[in-house]
Chain A
């Protein structure tokens, strides 16, 4: 009884709380990192060195006036931020933080649901996340958000193809769709998959940037384009939900990249016994470290690169990434059969 219902429920509670707190403090991280890149200090007033800024932001957004446009579709207008946030949160159900950890004498695997189609679940949930943007653009009953919403969703579904092919390349090498199985395959192969398939990792990362609407692919939500994109008419907490969903998506993409290409919870050189001292750091801490590095790279890229124009963006997705992805997949499959 305990094991079937109580343990997963506790895991869900802990994970959801951790994720929601992380995305609020990611706003602070982003502002600080971009500020330091631009040789300024960022938020410094609230709390020591500005560390309580997200709490001030949350209070401000909760107290803002909740405006709904006239003649907007009220039901869809309220639904769009929810449809944006929920897939970002439920994608965490299959991300493995560690193989097993011991809590109060129980051995619990640190993954909520280790389904044997875990990777396919992630791709499906990502494709559901497109709806939030389209519905937000439609429900605002205004030309600019509608066009921006259609553009953004076209961008998302274009880059989904490249991402899915890269995930398939990794699956071809590992032979399993389950996320913990993928990390085990990297342990058995004695090498992280990033060294075997660097191109797949690069394409996955670029696709992940486009999927989460991050710079340099953030045309749909930039303030200078189409007067603010698909969330122009949103204010207060609904506006915040869109951005929290984006940060949650970023954490998911970072977690997936860490699991698939960088060994998940494995320490560097997991089969080398001479580095036994690294074993004192628990697996989930390695995983969080790798995820944090990718998040930092996301923010670093945003601070550095200029924005792509829409036609350049689509050309990159269809004419550059998809042929490269297909080539990578074919070469992987052929080499897997021959070797």
Chain B
């Protein structure tokens, strides 16, 4: 009962803030709606018993990536006032058609899979013996060690690339 209430509230907030992100004019308000969206998604992760992922979402996404976006928005808006004109060349109708196609396809898949449940059926969820962080740690360092090392290389390359790109030509 409480879970349904929390889920529907969070879902409404996520969709609401998502729509606000794609429709707001002011980029700073857009970024704030994005932060609120990410925090609500983190709470959805807590509902799904993925509390480590929820904390990573807040720490990296809401606390790191969106701060980066906010910095860039302010550095770029520093000299120009926010433009109040409507964007002239956007492709609204094509965008809506594409989204309608996407939603049709996804709902078709959902309805089909609900009608034909596969062998991977849900059992009663029980609390795992070890905590969430330990489980992910075990997997990350044994089964998925190579992707883990590759991800760290990727982050190093991205860090060097970002520094080189954003550096002023002295």
Contacts and interface: CB of A to CB of B under 8 A. Distances in A.
A–B direct touch in complex (beta carbons closer than 8 A): yes
B59 A127 contact: yes
Contacts of B63: 124, 127-128, 130
A124 B74 contact: no
A322 B62 CA distance: 22
Interface string B43-82: 0000000011001101100111001001100110010000
Interface residues of B, number: 24
A76 B55 CA distance: 25
Contacts, number: 67
Interface string A151-183: 001000100000000000000000011100000
Interface of B: 26, 28-29, 32, 35, 39, 51-52, 55-56, 58-59, 62-64, 67, 70-71, 74-75, 78, 131-133
A130 B31 CA distance: 14
Nearest to B75: A150
Contact of A131 (B35, B74, B78): B35
Nearest to B52: A117
A138 to B, nearest CB: 6
Q: Which residue among A76, A120, A138, A146 has the maximum number of chain B CB atoms within 10 Å of its CB? A: A120
B55 A128 contact: no
Main secondary structure of the interface of B (DSSP, over half): helix
Contacts of B133: 116-117, 120, 177
Main secondary structure of the interface of A (DSSP, over half): helix
Contact of A116 (B29, B39, B58, B132): B132
B74 A138 contact: yes
A185 to B, nearest CB: 14
Contacts of B62: 124, 127-128
A134 B77 CA distance: 14
Contacts of A176: 131
A120 B55 contact: yes
A199 B13 CA distance: 44
Given A117-B51, A146-B78, A73 B59 contact: no
